[in-house]
A and B are shown apart, each in its own frame.
Chain A
Amino acid sequence: MSLLSIQALNVTLAGRHILKDASLSLARGELLGLVGPNGAGKSTLLKTLAGLIAPDSGQLTLAEAQLDALPRDQRARQIAYLAQERTAHWPLTVQRIVALGRFPHLADWQQPSEADRAIIDRAIIAADIDHLRQRRFNTLSGGEGMRVLLARALAVDADVLLADEPISALDPAHALSVMQLLRDTCERGHAVIAVLHDLTLAARFCHQLVLLHQGEVIAHGAPQYVLNDTNLSRAYHVTPWQAGEDDAIILPWHLCKPDTHREG
């Protein structure tokens, strides 16, 4: 049964028709990769799901409830969003940044409970940033910062996690560990939608892919069906390249040691 479903979604921004009758569905435990060229409407789709953009038309349902009918705080508890913005305006410690994820669960003046602290700890450990707890955000490397922000989103403990380009600008080891983290999150019963540009990693880790092109979903299904020659050529204007005998093929499939992605 699908946890999240989008039917015939249309979004217009500044007079431009960004999303055209986009539909998709996602079940618990699934990692869905949202792929497509720049400007295809991937981030807009994610922002619409996160409630940051109001759609013109379309049905958005979460666990059979209309998404736009959910109160703001309830929606915040059920959908976590990892923005493309990677900055923290004030240099808070990693621990405090991750703790922001519990905001939707706390009433005014309420302090985090033991259960909240346990969820924060779990997110910190899952993102492998336990050793960074007392570091200030502005002293972290790009890869460390990404994992901290991901831990913040995990700390919401929402049914659905939306991640906008979580592995862009990461080196292969960091990209692999973040993809593995997203996959692990799914295996704990959550559903994840991630905007991805790395088709190799998208094919490797995602249960299903949605290929967007000029605001339309042109393919939706298992990676091996979505990433075929026709679709790649239509959406990206590229054709798969077959390496010759003397060409280097570099595919970061596995981390060689558990600690290789740690820095500092």
Chain B
Amino acid sequence: MPIESPRLWSQRQLLLVGGALVSVLFVLSLFIGQNPLPVLLAAGQSDADISATVQMIFTQIRLPRALITLVIGASLGLCGAAMQSLLRNPLATPGLVGSSSGAALFAVLVFYLGGGVMSWLLMPLAGTLGSLLAMAFVFALAGRDSSIVTLILAGVAVNSLALSLISLVLNLAPSPYAVQEIVLWTLGSVANKSLRDFLLLMPATLAGWWLLRGIGPSLNTLTLGEDTAATLGVNISRLRWRVFLAVSLAIGAAVSTAGSIAFVGLVVPHLLRPLVGYEPGRLLPLSAIGGAALLLAADIVVRLFPGHLDIKIGVITSMVGAPFFLYLIVRTRRTQL
């Protein structure tokens, strides 16, 4: 008879270890790149020009990139855990409510129509708007008090619609260069970002995170189904709205800043769930930390490719995430046999 082995680490210990890991990866991310360790190389030199260049690389390139990676990774992990807990489905992703493809569609439209000098501002605004509109569309399509299955189907339908519209935009693109630019953007990248991009990413992200604070216990009650949760005093439709709105805000901001980065929101909660005894509420903060750690690590890997091979971070997460996910499915199947 399988007996539960005692949990090795407490929640506080897990968060501390996760936080330490993220800190190490964040610092590594500042120092690793095409020009390895510029800050350390320059440390012993007194030449003012070198120092200025190094400082510029550090503050204008490395720091924004690391910060954006950290925040987007945390958003993906957090939103993935929230969606999986809300829908009681380990296959749910943050993009399930259409937020990811809606944001991508509107961002691509900005590309296509040409935001001009204002595109740095238009992109995040359009992305967040697209994300929110897609979510609202999913809700309208599913109807009030709909079942989880109907919501998921509506999400799939809206995602397909948004992706087909992105294809249409690509089809109608005026030049091959525009197509290339759009396609490369949709692959997902945190390269070439400025502090301004980071600051534009933050408002919607923080709003999303704020909405998710304190919902752990409500998500825990959903373990026994919506009827039981409702009789325990949880307002199910309000909880759904809260999670979907939070995910739309955070993911909309993330996608419009860095394109679609797949698998982090799916795999991270999966990987960490056993560590918190499968409890949805305890998974949320840990999944945010895990997402940040995974994306920072992926971004370091991207920068370690030899020469000037420009591999996008979204490609790396997919290449690592997909086989890992297959492994999880096989493992789950084995344990069920």
Binding site for B on A (CB under 8 A): 47, 50-52, 72-73, 75-77, 79-81, 83, 85, 87-93, 96-97, 100-101, 103-104, 106, 108-109, 134-136, 139, 149, 152, 156, 264
B231 touches A134 (CB 8 A): no
**Residues of B with C-beta under 8 A to A135:** 2-4
Residue of B whose beta carbon sits closest to that of A137: B223
> When the two chains form their complex, are residues A85 and B228 in contact, meaning their CB atoms are under 8 A apart?
yes
Task: Judge whether A79 and B3 touch: CB under 8 Å.
Answer: no
Q: A97-B223, A100-B224, A134-B4 are in contact. Are A51 and B279 (CB under 8 A)?
A: no
Contact B278 A85 (CB under 8 A): no
Q: Which of B96-104, B214-222, B250-258, B323-331 contacts A (4 or more CB under 8 A)?
A: B214-222
CB distance B233 to A103 under 8 Å? yes
Q: Which residues of B contact A79 (CB under 8 A)?
A: 231
Are the C-beta atoms of B233 and A76 separated by less than 8 Å? yes
Q: Is the CB of B233 within 8 A of A104?
A: yes
B127 at the interface (CB under 8 A from A): no
Determine the chain B residues whose CB is within 8 A of the CB of A72 once the complex forms.
Answer: 233, 235
Q: Give A264's nearest chain B residue, CB to CB.
A: B1
- Residue pair B231, A50 in contact (C-beta under 8 Å): yes
**For residue A141, which residue of chain B has the nearest CB?**
B1
Is residue B280 contacting chain A, with contact meaning CB distance below 8 A?
yes
Closest approach, in angstroms, between the C-beta of A101 and any C-beta of chain B? 8
Q: Are B228 and A139 in contact (CB under 8 A)?
A: no
Contact-residue bracket for chain B: 20 to 34
> Does any Cβ of A come within 8 Å of B240's Cβ?
no
The one of A73, A76, A81 that contacts B227, using a Cβ cutoff of 8 Å: A81
**With the chains together, A264 CA to B1 CA distance in Å?**
7
Is the C-beta of B88 less than 8 angstroms from some C-beta in chain A? yes
From known contacts A96-B279, A100-B232, infer whether A52 and B225 are also in contact, taking CB-CB under 8 Å. Answer: no
- The answer to whether A73 touches B233 (Cβ under 8 A) is yes
A139 and B336 alpha carbons, distance in the complex (Å): 11
How far apart are the CA atoms of A109 and B218 in the complex, in Å?
A: 11
Q: Tell me how far the C-beta of B328 lies from the nearest C-beta in chain A, rounded to whole angstroms.
A: 15
Q: A139's contact among B1, B221, B231, by CB below 8 Å, is which?
A: B1
Q: In the assembled complex, which residues on chain A have CB atoms less than 8 Å from the CB atom of B279?
A: 90, 92, 96
- Measured in the bound complex, the distance between the Cα atoms of B222 and A70 in whole Å is 22
CB distance from A236 to the nearest CB of B (A): 27
Which residues from chain B contact A96 at a C-beta distance below 8 Å?
220, 277, 279
Q: Which residue of A lies closest to B2 (CB)?
A: A139
- By beta carbon, the residue of chain B nearest A103 is B232
| Beta-carbon contact of B217 and A134 below 8 Å | no
Bound-complex Cα distance A194 to B83 (A) = 34
Note all chain B residues with C-beta closer than 8 A to A51.
230-231
15 CB < 8 A contacts A-B? A50-B230, A52-B227, A52-B231, A73-B233, A83-B227, A89-B222, A89-B223, A92-B223, A97-B224, A100-B224, A108-B214, A134-B3, A134-B4, A134-B6, A149-B224
Q: A91-B278, A135-B3, A139-B1 are in contact. Are A100 and B223 (CB under 8 A)?
A: yes
A204 CB, min distance to chain B CBs, angstroms: 28
Contact indicator per residue, chain B 1-38, by CB within 8 Å of chain A (1) or not (0) = 11110100000000000000000000000000000000
